[in-house]
């Protein structure tokens, strides 16, 4: 998926596919006969992109950060991994548990 700057208008080829993350908020300009109509911000996934002539990202959606933590008895403590497969590979015999931690956004 391409990177788009917030509050900058981009032309759209009027294809069916959504060019941004479906949970990003966008404003669009649509071709309605001889007239262009601009719509205020809405979730990109709720738009029929086939008649969109231009769009701008109003608020970019960012995936929450996900970490996997292996918990070991003291004195070893915690070991943080960026993927489940890495955490599973690093468990060893003394790992008590593996915990998935996800960033919470308000």
Tell me the per-residue pLDDT of 35-59, one tens digit each, with 9 for 90 and over.
Answer: 677 777 889 999 989 888 899 999 9
Q: Please check whether residues 70 and 50 belong to one and the same domain.
A: no
Does residue 22 fall inside a structural domain? yes
Rounded to an integer, what distance in angstroms lies between the CA atom of residue 38 and that of residue 54?
9
How crowded is residue 54: how many other Cβ atoms within 10 Å of its Cβ? 16
Residue 17 maps to a domain = yes
Query: How does pLDDT run across 7-42, given as a tens digit for each residue?
Result: 999 999 878 889 999 999 999 988 777 667 777 788
Tell me which residue range forms the domain holding 52: 9-59
Please check whether residues 49 and 80 belong to one and the same domain. no
The answer to whether residues 22 and 46 belong to one domain is yes
What is residue 94's three-state secondary structure? coil
2 or 97: which leads in pLDDT: 97
8 Å CB contact between 53 and 91: no
Pair (75, 47) in one structural domain: no
């Amino acid at each position: 998926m391409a990177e788009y700057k917030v509050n900058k208008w981009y032309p759209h080829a009027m294809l069916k596919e959504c060019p941004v993350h479906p949970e990003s908020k966008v404003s669009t300009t649509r071709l309605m006969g001889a007239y262009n109509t601009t719509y205020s911000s809405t979730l990109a996934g709720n738009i029929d992109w086939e008649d969109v002539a231009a769009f701008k990202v109003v608020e970019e959606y960012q995936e929450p950060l996900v970490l996997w933590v292996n918990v070991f008895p003291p004195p070893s403590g915690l070991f943080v991994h960026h993927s489940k497969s890495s955490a599973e590979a690093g468990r060893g015999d003394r790992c008590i548990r593996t915990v998935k931690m996800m960033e919470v956004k308000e």
